[in-house]
Amino acid sequence: MHPHRFRFFVSASDTESVSVEGAEHVHLAKVLRLPVGTEIEVFDGTGWVAQGCIESLASKIARVRITQVAEPQPKKPACIVCLGALKPNSCDDLLPPLVELGVDAFHLFLSEGTARYRGSESAQARWQRILLTAVKQCKRPTIPTIEVWSSWSALLQGNPFPMEAQRWVLDPDATTSLGTGLDKQRSSVLAIGSEKGFSASENTGFREAGFAPVALGTSILRATTAAIAGVAVLAFSR
137-180 pLDDT, tens digit per residue, is 999 999 999 999 999 999 999 999 999 999 999 998 999 999 88
Report the alpha-carbon distance of residue 83 to residue 53 in Å, rounded: 40
49-57/61-69 β-pairing: antiparallel
Residue 100, pLDDT above cutoff 80 = yes
Q: What is the pLDDT of residue 87?
A: 85
Q: Which phi and psi (to 5°) does residue 161 adopt?
A: -110, 150
- Maximum alpha-carbon separation in the chain: 61
What angle separates helix 223-235 from helix 88-100, to the nearest 10 degrees? 10
Given a cut of 90, whether residue 93 has pLDDT beyond it is yes
CB-based contacts of 219, cutoff 8 Å, min separation 6: none
Rounded Cα distance between 26 and 20, Å, is 9
Q: What is the 3-state secondary structure (H, E, C) of 78-138?
A: CEEEEEECCCHHHHHHHHHHHHHCCCCEEEEECCCCCCHHHHCHHHHHHHHHHHHHHHHHH
Residue 159: which region, alpha, beta or left (left: phi > 0; alpha: psi -120 to 50)? left
Question: Which pLDDT value is given to residue 145?
Answer: 97
User: C-alpha angle with apex 57: 56 to 61, nearest 5 degrees?
Assistant: 110
pLDDT tens per residue across span 55-88: 999 999 999 999 999 998 888 899 999 999 888 8
- What are the structural domains, with CATH classification, of the chain? 7-69 (2.40.240.20), 79-235 (3.40.1280.10)
Cross-strand pairs, 49: 43
